[in-house]
């Protein structure tokens, strides 16, 4: 039952946001009493915390699986983006923005964990791209990895990127292309253009 509650809560949070979904909503959706939910989760904050971390590890494991496929680094980044967006349901409910606004301590904890996981992943991606000649050989790997991560986090800031101006899926595409065009070689640019063109078909 505990896992069922966690999975349903995660699904509702992703679709409607942390603020909008109440314990009453969750109980109603599952056809159980609130008492049953509280027997497994002390309060809504604890439920949000577990749902968030559960999703984080699920996404981390999915990214590890994509990396293990050893695709070329440009294709790998597009696969990771597609996977993350599908698990976050294209950020319809602006979950990261809501997490930062309503659960700031949890957001900071999550960000630290994301840095640990993504930093290694990005550094590896950049180094492999340099080795096979699709990323420029004079890149400062640590700088590029960190600037990419900080940019990715900032996409969830609605003051910088209001939803009235930017569709979340398009925003992710713009950002990834912007990042890659700054670091690819002519050989890498050819691969990048092929991926972009195939995605537009």
pLDDT tens digits in sequence order for the chain, 201 residues long: 899 999 999 999 988 888 889 999 999 999 999 999 999 999 999 999 999 999 899 999 999 999 999 999 999 999 999 998 888 875 655 777 788 888 989 988 988 888 888 888 999 999 999 999 999 999 999 999 999 999 988 888 888 998 889 888 889 999 999 999 999 999 999 999 999 998 765
Residue 130 CB neighbours (<10 A): 20
User: Which sign, positive or negative, has the C-alpha torsion 115, 126, 197, 67?
Assistant: negative
User: Which sequence spans correspond to the domains of the chain?
Assistant: 2-200
- Class of the domain covering 2-200: mainly alpha
Give pairs for 136-143: CB < 8 Å, separation 24+.
136/183, 136/184, 136/185, 139/183
Residue 4 CB neighbours (<10 A): 11
């Amino acid at each position: 039952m505990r896992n069922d509650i966690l999975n349903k809560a995660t699904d509702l949070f992703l679709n409607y946001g942390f603020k909008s979904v109440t314990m009453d909503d969750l109980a109603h959706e599952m056809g159980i009493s609130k008492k049953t939910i509280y027997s497994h989760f002390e309060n809504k904050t604890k439920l949000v915390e577990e749902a968030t971390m559960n999703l984080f590890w699920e996404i981390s494991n999915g990214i590890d699986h994509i990396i293990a496929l050893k695709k070329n680094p440009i294709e790998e980044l597009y696969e990771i983006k597609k996977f993350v967006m599908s698990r976050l349901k294209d950020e319809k409910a602006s979950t990261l923005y809501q997490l930062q606004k309503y659960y700031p301590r949890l957001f900071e904890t999550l960000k630290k964990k994301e840095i640990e996981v993504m930093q290694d992943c990005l550094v590896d991606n950049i180094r492999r791209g340099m080795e096979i000649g699709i990323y420029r050989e004079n890149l400062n790997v640590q700088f590029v990895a960190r600037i990419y991560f900080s940019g990715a986090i900032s996409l969830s800031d609605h003051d910088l990127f209001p939803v009235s101006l930017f569709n979340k899926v398009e925003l992710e595409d713009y950002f990834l292309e912007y990042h890659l065009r700054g670091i690819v070689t002519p050989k890498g640019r050819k691969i990048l253009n092929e991926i972009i063109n195939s995605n537009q078909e």
